[in-house]
Every structure is written in C-alpha cells, then in structure tokens.
Amino acid sequence: MDSLLRELDRAVSERSFYLQKKEQLIAEIIKRLENAEGNKESEYRIYGELFEAYKSFQMDSALSVANRRIDVAARTGNSHYEIVASMNLAEVMMGTGMYKEAFDLLNSQRRGIQLTDVLIYRYHLYHSLYVLMSGYSISPAQKALYRQYAVQYKDSILSVLPEDLIGHQMVRTTRLLAEGRLDDALNVGLDCFRRFGTGNQSVAMSAYTLAEVYEAMGNREEEKRYLAISALGDLKGAVKEYISLRALAVILYEEGDIARAYDYTKCAMEDAIFCNARLRAFEISQMLPIINESYDVKMQTEKNRLALLLVIISLLSLFLIGALIYIYKQLKALSAARKRLRQINMDLAKINDDLNSLNQELSESNLVKEEYIGYVFTMCSNYIDKLEDFRKKTNRKLRTGQVDELLQMTNSSSFVSDELKEFHRSFDTIFLKLYPSFVEEFNTLLLPGEAVFPKEGDLLTPELRIFALVRLGISDSVKIADFLHYSTQTVYNYRLKVRNKLRIPKEDFTVAVGRIGRLP
C-alpha cells in the first residue's frame, strides 16, 4: 500500500504531463475533424470521438461538442444519429448537475428506434441519473425510491448488454451488491478487474467498483487499495471528473494521514474546477474545509517543532563551529606531516628505484661475469692443451731432425688466423647466449634499409661484434681493438659507418646500445 500511495503521489505531481498527452489527443481529433469538413457521416463520427475525449475532461467543451453533433445529425436526416447526439447532451447535463433538464431531454426522445446501442445508452443514462439523485436526496423515502429505479435499470442494462463487455460485468457486480450478495459481487468484480483492467479507463472503473464492494464488506485496507488503483487510472488518463481520489482522501484523513489527504483533496478540487464539474466541486467543498483546518493545525504544530529544532540546531552549530576550528588545526598539522611523509616516501622511492636499477645492473654484471669467467677458464684450458700438443709436436720434430717442417709450420700465419676465428666465434656464442635479441634490437636503432645481419654461418659481423663489446661496457676503441685483434683504425671506421646509419641522435646511441637485451 505504501508503494502504491507513493506511485499515486508521483502521478499527482506529474498531472501536467498526462494533461499534455490528453491535449495532444484532442488536437489530433480536431485536426481530423477539420479534414473531414463537408462529409456529414465522418463529421458525426469524429464529433463522437471528440465528445468522449471531452466529457470527463472539460464539461463546457463537451457541451459545445454535443450541440454541434446534434446539428450535424440533423443535417444527415438520420433519426438514430439525432437520438444518440441528444443523449450526449443529456449526459453533459447530468455531469453539471442539471438533472431535471437531462430527464426532460431523455423523456422527449422518440422511442420508436430500438437499436441495441441506443437502448444500452438510454438505460445507462437513466441508471446514472437515478444513482445521482439517490445520493443527493434528503428524504429517505425518495432516496429508496430512486435506488429502486436504479436497480431496475441495472436489470434493463444486463438484458441488452453482451456478457463479454466490461460494462456488463461492472453492472452485474453492482446489481449483486444491491442485493447484499457480497461474496458473489466480489468474485464477479475481481474477475472483471483481471479480464478488463488493461487501459487507464477500464482500470479506473473496474477498480472503483471493487472498492465499493470492499466498502460494503467493511474491508478498509482493500477498499483503500482499489481506490488508489482507480485514482491512478483516472490521473494517467487525464480524467478530471472522478470520485476515487476524493474518496481515498477521506479515508486517509480518518487514518491521520492529513498531509496526503490535503494534497489529494486539493488535486481533486483543482481538477473539478478545470473540468467545470460543479457537482464534484460541491462534493469536495464539503470536505475540504475540514481537511484544510486539520492541515493548518498540523502545519502549526510542525512550525512549533521546527522552531524548537532551529534552537537546538543553532546550539549544535556553535558546538560544530568550535569542533571544526579544532579539526581544521589538526588537519593542518596532519597535512604538514603528510607532506613531509610524502617527501620522505618520494625520496625512499627514488632510493628504491636506484637500488633496483643497481641490483639489476649487478645481476646482469654477475651473470656476464659468470658466463665469461667460465668461458675464459675453458679457453685457457683449451689453450694449455693446444700448447702442450704444440710442444710435443715441436719436440718430436726436433728429435727426428725435421727442422725444415718445423720452420715451415711456425712461419705460417694460418695457425693464429684459425685461433682468432675460433676466439671470435666463441665470443659471439657466449654473447648471444647472454643477449639473444641483440641483433634485432640493434637494427631497430638504424635507418630502414640499413640493418646489419651476419652472413650465413656467422653469428656476428665485425660491426656487431664491436658494439657487443660496447654493450658489455667497453666503449674505448683502443681496448676494443686490442680485445678483438683489430686495428684501431678499423674499429673507428666501423663505428663511424654505423653512426651514419642511425635513426636516433648520435649522442643517445651509446646509452641505447647499453640498454639492449636488458636482463630482468
């Protein structure tokens, strides 16, 4: 129920939205009416649509439309049209409280035409008239008489209205209610609500009928719930002449929900005035002063309570200001401490980065040292073996007098050349083991089309070998020349040749080479 009332509150506050939709619908009907000018049949039919849109929305406009429809019906010469149009006028008169005029108009009609739709409409109007007159009669006898006539017209409606229509089910519900058969009335009403409660208008009508049944049963909660559902249907359909919201306001007032009762009653009064439904405005005016007075008392109580709260809030504000001043000083001190701490953290982070970098370099250096120390020991061992082999071979040739062969062997440079090639290949192997992506990364530093790749069967070119030593931290050309057994000029030429192919600034080249294949 709480969520339903909150939804109803939103619908009350959003009435302008639903009003705009209704006005758009009316504007579309008027436009179609203008396009149908001259076609009496179409004009009559569209005036009927316009009357349906206006009759619970604006009584003055509905009255004007009904009179125009009567004129159009007269021009068609169709007696059936004239009767229906005059009944439209009677329906508007009922809505404005002109009961006698409505009776006179209905009684003056010819009864020769007995078409079903005419009978249903006439019975409906007589039934509504007697219900209204019963509600506003002062004499108990007169009230009972009108109620009896209303019941008789319920029977007349049920005799001609098809059972599969919502009107039949609603009239049947109220007929059972009049007989005091509350359980049967409830079952029929619930079935009607489930079957036909789809559009705003059908929801509003079927829910209000159920609310009447629950009222007779004394079930206040269910009565209130279905009144709220009915009021939602009325508001969303932009109906301005209704009962549900006012009836719900009375219940809420009795339950002590004064503010909501006031809002709903005020809304109902504004809609009744907008519609020019004088009868509904009169009904609401009987209740509005009582609710308004209670609302004023409640507002005064709220004002007194608010004044007390303002005094308490003022005292609390003074305390809060003092607390804020103290907190501000503490925050200022905390901010300074945080600033110092942040600076310390930044310094520590820098130191940590430096340590990480140093650790990385040390790890890389240790790995390089381990690899190359093992390589050096292996080479030394190999060279010792080769020297021993050379000594034995020399000793054997000297003892056998093969001096000429010995001279020929020592005069040849192929031995040194072969050893140098083996040295370079060993260096290349161990270096690429440490930095397997060196060639690819090195070539990314060169211009497109200037990449350096080893020949088939080789691991590194002389240029790559020179910069491999640069990667290991040996950047002096003299030391590189000594290490690789190149001339200093050769090393210089290779380095110059590579520098001319660079795609990065020359001053950044050595640093970039030093970062190639950085170990994790």
439-459 confidence digits (pLDDT tens): 888 888 888 888 888 888 788
Mean pLDDT to the nearest integer, 324-330: 88
Cβ(157)–Cβ(127) below 8 Å = yes
Q: Which residue has the tokens 């719930």?
A: 225
Between CA 221 and CA 231, with CA 225 as vertex, the angle to 5 degrees is 145
Q: What distance in Å separates the CA atoms of residue 69 and residue 64, rounded to the nearest whole number?
A: 9
Cβ(166)–Cβ(206) below 8 Å = yes
Q: What distance in Å separates the CA atoms of residue 187 and residue 284, rounded to the nearest whole number?
A: 31
Q: Strands, E, within 101-174: which ranges?
A: none
- Per-residue pLDDT for 224 more than 50? yes
Residue 187 pLDDT: 93
Cβ(346)–Cβ(354) below 8 Å = no
Tokens of 379: 């080479």
β-sheet bridge partners, residue 19? none
- Per-residue pLDDT for 36 more than 90? no
Q: What is the mean pLDDT of the chain?
A: 83
Kindly report each contact of residues 365-373 with a partner whose C-beta sits within 8 Å and lies 24 or more positions away, as own/partner: 367/434, 367/519, 368/434, 368/472, 371/430, 371/433, 371/434, 372/430
User: pLDDT digit string (tens) for 239-248?
Assistant: 888 888 888 9
Cβ(162)–Cβ(198) below 8 Å = no
Say which residues have a Cβ less than 8 Å from residue 26's Cβ, sequence separation at least 6: 50, 53, 54, 57
Q: Which of 462, 459, 463 is nearest to 446 (CA)?
A: 463
Tokens of 503: 């795609």
End-to-end CA distance of the chain: 68
Residue 241 pLDDT: 81
Handedness of CA 444, 445, 447, 453 (dihedral sign): negative
β-sheet bridge partners, residue 446? 502
- DSSP 8-state secondary structure symbol assigned to residue 109: S
User: pLDDT digit string (tens) for 138-188?
Assistant: 788 888 898 899 999 989 988 888 888 888 888 999 899 988 899 999 999
At 258, the pLDDT band (50, 70, 90 cuts) reads confident
Cβ(514)–Cβ(474) below 8 Å = no
What angle separates helix 278-399 from helix 414-434, to the nearest 10 degrees? 160
Phi, psi for residue 446 in degrees, rounded to 5: -100, 160
Q: What distance in Å separates the CA atoms of residue 1 and residue 315, rounded to the nearest whole number?
A: 40
Cβ(275)–Cβ(56) below 8 Å = yes
Classified as helix, coil or strand, 446 is strand
- Per-residue pLDDT for 35 more than 60? yes
Q: Strands, E, within 213-270: which ranges?
A: none
Residue 519 pLDDT: 53
The structure's pTM equals 0.56
Cβ(41)–Cβ(296) below 8 Å = no
Say which residues have a Cβ less than 8 Å from residue 461's Cβ, sequence separation at least 6: 452, 453, 454, 455
% of the chain beyond a pLDDT of 70: 85
At 520, the pLDDT band (50, 70, 90 cuts) reads very low
Cβ(129)–Cβ(147) below 8 Å = no
Q: What distance in Å separates the CA atoms of residue 275 and residue 304, rounded to the nearest whole number?
A: 38
Alpha helices in 256-277 (DSSP H): 258-275
Tokens of 309: 């709260």
Classified as helix, coil or strand, 84 is helix
User: pLDDT digit string (tens) for 480-512?
Assistant: 888 888 888 988 888 888 888 888 888 888 888
At 24, the pLDDT band (50, 70, 90 cuts) reads very high
Cβ(516)–Cβ(471) below 8 Å = yes
Phi, psi for residue 502 in degrees, rounded to 5: -70, 145
Q: Which of 69, 66, 131, 119 is nearest to 93 (CA)?
A: 66
Of 263-277, 310-324, 413-427, which range is least confident? 413-427
Tokens of 347: 């310094």
User: pLDDT digit string (tens) for 63-107?
Assistant: 999 999 999 999 888 888 989 999 999 999 888 888 888 888 988
User: pLDDT digit string (tens) for 392-437?
Assistant: 777 777 778 777 776 766 665 566 677 778 888 888 888 888 888 8
Cβ(409)–Cβ(418) below 8 Å = no
Q: Which of 299, 102, 200, 274 is nearest to 284 (CA)?
A: 274
% of the chain beyond a pLDDT of 90: 18
Indicate the domain borders of the chain.
412-514
Of 198-212, 270-284, 361-375, which range is least confident? 361-375
H-helix or E-strand spanning residue 121: helix 116-136
Q: Which residue type occupies 341? A: L
- Per-residue pLDDT for 358 more than 70? no
3-state helix, strand, coil in the chain (%, to 5): 80, 0, 20
Q: Which of 221, 213, 220 is nearest to 185 (CA)?
A: 213
Neighbours of 113 (CB within 10 A): 14
At 48, the pLDDT band (50, 70, 90 cuts) reads very high
Pick the residue with more confidence: 371 or 487? Answer: 487
- Per-residue pLDDT for 372 more than 70? no
Cβ(151)–Cβ(175) below 8 Å = yes
- CB-side exposure of 486: number of CA atoms within 13 Å? 21
